[in-house]
Structure 1
């Protein structure tokens, strides 16, 4: 039995999220179907590093699965891709040790959120960005994100449907960069709660509109109350950028490209 890890890139528009659904509308469903068609065996179950919501995209999602099929890694990439829709792609494939687990072996995840600031919504970028009608104060937002770094109770930023046993998460780094009408917020943490990033982005935009001071982020963290925060922002601009694993697993993300659609 072989354990194989894969890097997956996808445009989440039109899918009902990562996790399998009865109507087969999820990204997991189309990947498992492609693996079945390629291998010719019974359905292969995959495990992912992070279950993204409907409309959320991924540049480098990581999955693993077990199989008896002995093929070259390049064949897995090209073969599975031939059965996938254009909006989903296998980027790399690698044989891993049996103790590797796409989710539980991960030591950090990185997400980016792209905000498009304009008086008029973009027809071109449409489902690829979150849209803000308002001009945002970047300096205020940058001062606010620094307060997220460290270990905190993120109850004020978690969905009421979140099933995580604990709201405690550790944020390792954050950044906020401006590229013309685009603002890119990037956050790296050990793990995330359901809707955590989208709720943070919603609050950052509220600060960027000068409705609150940056210290409000700290007040929300201390409040531990979702009702105190701003509304959940659109899933469209959210991208799972990367998953980090301990070096002993030797995960080689060849062919990975962390560019989205602009030269960030």
Structure 2
């Protein structure tokens, strides 16, 4: 039986899931989508592959998956049918036919992540699942200095979970910046790189917030590159503030990145 490979860009609110990848300890995004596909194709099991996993509570604005479909269906019809079977916290935003050679994970050239930090004095109950509450005065100059040091090719051993199975911990970070959303009083981090290790962005945030709080100096980043010890870095920030924004499949995104990170002062709207 002939098949057709499809690529989908999906969004999800990760609050109710143990992460993207199927696990034994709870329901995952992958499991929900595969069950919807199985129902659509009358019991036939269809496996999906993603650009990478996201952890419990982490959200996605632009996760990418692919799968083999047992029928050649117009992408828009496949998208509508699949969305009708998915819960409200998962949505297929774009669907297209791709060649049998395309692979959502192996062909990814880079990823963009965002992390939201709520700086308001008192926690907002409507942000509790989507931001990290951090009601402290922060030094934006030191924060920028720390972020600048993360840019480039480095061994990020100190910035990844000890549970990672990756032996090679060298990655390239193309962009590490912040913006101030003054209307919401949020600090919004953006990280773009050719790949990210397990918990890497969350440890970036936890470490940089310590520096912004004055607990450590920006030069701490240099020391962490040298010691290559996860226990020396800052805490792993909560998954609820993290968003996978976009996955890149060609290198054109590098041309669009700013040559430097945001200036060390609040950006006005």
Task: Give TM-score scaled by structure 1 length.
Answer: 0.91
Dislocated runs of 4+, deviation >3 Å = none
- Helix, strand or coil at the partner of 1:19: coil
- Helix, strand or coil at the partner of 2:56: coil
2-structure distance, mates of 1:18, 1:138: 33
1:218 pairs, out of 203, 215, 222, with 222
Aligned residues: 249
2-structure distance, mates of 1:134, 1:221: 27
The answer on 1:75 being equivalent to 2:77 is yes
1:179 maps to: 181
Q: 1:149 Cα shift? A: 0.9
1-structure distance, mates of 2:216, 2:39: 53
2-structure distance, mates of 1:22, 1:45: 17
Deviates further, 226-235 or 102-111: 226-235
1:46 maps to: 48
Contact 1:34/1:84 (<8 A) preserved: yes
- Helix, strand or coil at the partner of 1:47: strand
Contact 2:111/2:193 (<8 A) preserved: yes
Q: 1:246 Cα shift? A: 2.5
2-structure distance, mates of 1:154, 1:21: 26
Give runs of aligned pairs for residues 123-138 of structure 1, distance below 5 A: 123-138=125-140
The answer on 1:233 being equivalent to 2:237 is yes
Give the root-mean-square deviation of aligned CA atoms. Answer: 1.5
2-structure distance, mates of 1:168, 1:175: 20
Q: Could you report, residue by residue, the CA deviation over 1:33-86 in whole angstroms, capped at 9, with x for unpaired residues?
A: 111122225111000002000000000100000122121100111110111110
Contact 1:39/1:69 (<8 A) preserved: no
Q: 1:165 Cα shift? A: 2.3
1-structure distance, mates of 2:213, 2:8: 41
Structure 1 alignment gaps of length 5 or more:
249-263
Q: 1:136 Cα shift? A: 1.6
